[in-house]
Chains A and B, each alone.
Chain A
């Protein structure tokens, strides 16, 4: 008899426990249970407000548990429309601005003419880091643009088979050169951070519009002017964003990333990348066609003394003072 009571007690306890467990379990996706519950895709999509309809799967690939993922439609719209507009406006707009600027201002000359004496601006190591970053950036930029615009602009001209081969090599180049680019950005960050904090000279430089206007007064600058500092910080911060989102895309679904996270990584990678390209086009213009005597600073590493006096007067004085009367200047060859 005692045994029977113990048994009943156990059953009652089990039922009570089951009741407690059932009452604390979250409400199911379907409003009502039972075989007659009529819940449709439409109702669930509305209920989840664009969220993923997901459940259990018995296969190892757990992301297969997503039954319907409506966010893909937004991403499709971003990929086929939004990103193309952003990229088109940023890049074509920048090119148009530069053409207008060039027609208006022409190449910015060294006002005092070349002195014939040069001084060291960038060491061999600085130039190596710059060109490492620059060369990989150009390849990454072109292969990236190919993914976004290639189908519309290059494929009709190249044909499907050649375009696919080129794009596949482009993908490998994009993936593997990212490591070299990362090294370049990290070295650039460490190498130039000391000269890129804002100073009072930058405020004045900004007020004078960088001295870029016609007959404009030259604006003060240390080794880097305010515009170059802004570029530096975009390269470092934008570069870091590109590197992080890029590796997330290269190692898909790591760190518990879902498909929505992958889409977000691609959205950031695409937008920042296109703005980055537009900015670097302006940088290339100012470093070549836009300004006399600028390219040689990264080319040979030296600049004309008059160029330094005009564009980076504070840096020039600094170099002169600790260079003991021009020890770091050297005669032209």
Chain B
């Protein structure tokens, strides 16, 4: 089985935010929730880089470790998913997550959180693949249809790669070799305890 990963080539990302929009549209993400966002480091200064970031589907995911009700599970493709029916909205996964991936709809006043929502690698949730219930709670299940996450598919500069970790790492290595520089696979060290030599 493939080990699914995201890789954002910061030397290619142009901060167009199409990945963010594609994600919102494909998954009908509610207002105020961003499963993916683009962060620009050194905005307007020399060495500016933009990185598209969402849940990195960590190996040994911190969110899963701290969850008081054990809602997380890892699929055969190493995608970290969660069961919204069991979530109590405590917010602990957000405190533990290195990437700020978990999001919460505000259900009432006083900052009270609803059930957590995050990137599913376009792989839905525990409900039957492609069912109405699954779509309403988690959004699209493209992986079940043999398609990759739409954010990466939409990326105009092919900065954002999604797919089998080994394959996308190989693509990235070739790019770095050809162009002669690269700022590395952002988040890989934190999420997978590995980095791609650049």
Q: Which residues of A contact B (CB under 8 A)?
A: 25, 28-42, 45, 53-59, 61, 63-70, 72-73, 75-76, 79-80, 146-148, 150-151, 155, 160-161, 163-164, 167-168, 171, 175, 249-254, 259, 262-263, 266
Residues of chain B within 8 A of A155, CB atoms compared:
69-70
Return the CB mask of B62-103 against A: 1 if under 8 Å, else 0: 100111111100000000000101111111101111111000
Give complex CA distance A41, B69 in Å. Answer: 32
Contacts of B86 in A (CB 8 A): 160-161, 164
> Which residues between 10 and 25 of chain B lie within 8 Å of chain A, taking CB atoms?
11, 15, 17, 20
Bound complex: CA A63 to CA B17 (Å)? 17
CA distance A164 to B115 in the complex (A): 12
Contact A41 B195 (CB under 8 A): yes
A147 to chain B, nearest CB (A): 5
Q: Report Cα–Cα, A28/B47, bound state, in Å.
A: 8
The residue from B34, B40, B70, B110 contacting A61, defined by CB atoms under 8 A apart:
B34
Q: How far is the CA of A57 from the CA of B41 in the complex (A)?
A: 9
Tell me the complex Cα distance, A262–B113, Å: 15
Asked if A45 and B189 make an inter-chain contact with CB atoms under 8 angstroms apart, the answer reads yes
When the two chains form their complex, are residues A147 and B68 in contact, meaning their CB atoms are under 8 A apart?
A: yes
Chain B residues whose C-beta falls within 8 Å of the C-beta of A148 in the assembled complex: 68
A43 to chain B, nearest CB (A): 8
Which of B's residues lie within 8 Å of A, judged by CB?
Answer: 11, 15, 17, 20, 32, 34, 37-43, 45-47, 49, 51, 53, 62, 65-71, 83, 85-92, 94-100, 110-113, 180-190, 195, 198
Q: Do B186 and A59 touch (CB < 8 A)?
A: no
Q: Which residues of A contact B112 (CB under 8 A)?
A: 175, 250
Enumerate chain B residues within 8 angstroms of A38, measured Cβ to Cβ: 181-184, 198
Residues in A with CB closer than 8 Å to B89 are 168, 171
Given A57-B38, A262-B95, answer yes or no on A35-B11 (Cβ-Cβ < 8 Å).
Answer: yes
B62 in contact with A76 (CB, 8 Å): yes
B49, B69, B89 — which one has the most chain A CB atoms within 10 A of its CB?
A: B69
- State whether A55 and B69 are in contact (beta carbons under 8 Å apart), knowing that A36-B181, A72-B62, A79-B96 are contacts in the complex: no
CB distance from A177 to the nearest CB of B (A): 14
Chain A residues in 8 Å Cβ range of B34: 59, 61, 64
**CB contact under 8 A between A72 and B98, given known A28-B42, A55-B43:** yes
| A55, B40: Cβ atoms closer than 8 Å | yes
Q: How far does the Cβ of B7 sit from chain A's closest Cβ, in whole Å?
A: 12
Q: Decide: A251 near B111, CB < 8 A? Known: A38-B181, A164-B69.
A: yes
B98 touches A70 (CB 8 A): yes
CA gap between A153 and B130 in the complex, in Å: 35
A30-B49, A33-B45 known; A41+B88 contact, CB < 8 A: no
CB distance from A161 to the nearest CB of B (A): 7
Name the A residues within 8 Å of B83 (CB-CB). Answer: 160
Whether the pair B69, A163 counts as a contact (CB closer than 8 A) is yes
Q: List 28 A-B contacts (CB under 8 A).
A: A25-B45, A28-B42, A28-B46, A30-B41, A30-B47, A31-B47, A35-B11, A38-B181, A40-B195, A41-B186, A57-B40, A59-B37, A61-B34, A64-B37, A67-B53, A68-B186, A69-B97, A69-B99, A72-B95, A75-B96, A76-B96, A146-B68, A161-B86, A164-B85, A171-B89, A252-B91, A252-B111, A266-B92
Given A67-B41, A70-B98, A80-B66, A161 contacting B85 (CB threshold 8 A): yes
Determine the distance from Cα of A32 to Cα of B49 in the docked complex, in whole angstroms. Answer: 12
| Contacting pair B111 A64 (CB below 8 A) | no
Judging by beta carbons under 8 Å apart, are B68 and A66 in contact?
A: no
Instruction: Quote the shortest CB–CB distance from B172 to chain A (angstroms).
Output: 12
Which residue on chain A has the smallest CB distance to residue B197?
Answer: A40
> When A29-B47, A38-B183, A41-B195 are in contact, do A66 and B100 touch as well, CB less than 8 Å?
yes
> Given A40-B184, A259-B94, A160–B43 Cβ distance below 8 Å?
no
Contacts of A37 in B (CB 8 A): 46-47, 181, 183
Give the contacting residue for A263; candidates B53, B95, B187, B195; CB below 8 A: B95
Q: Kindly report which residue of chain B lies nearest to residue A31, judged by CB atoms.
A: B47
Q: B46 and A30: CB pair below 8 A? A: yes
A263 CB to closest chain B CB (Å) equals 5
The contact of B111 among A55, A67, A250, by CB within 8 Å, is A250
User: What separation, in Å, do the CA atoms of A175 and B108 have in the docked complex?
Assistant: 13
The answer to whether A69 touches B100 (Cβ under 8 A) is yes
B15 cross-chain contacts in A, Cβ below 8 A: 58
Shortest C-beta distance, B90 to chain A (Å), equals: 6
By a CB distance below 8 angstroms, the chain A residues around B94 are: 259
Given A39-B47, A57-B37, A67-B186, residue A259 in contact with residue B100 (CB < 8 A): yes
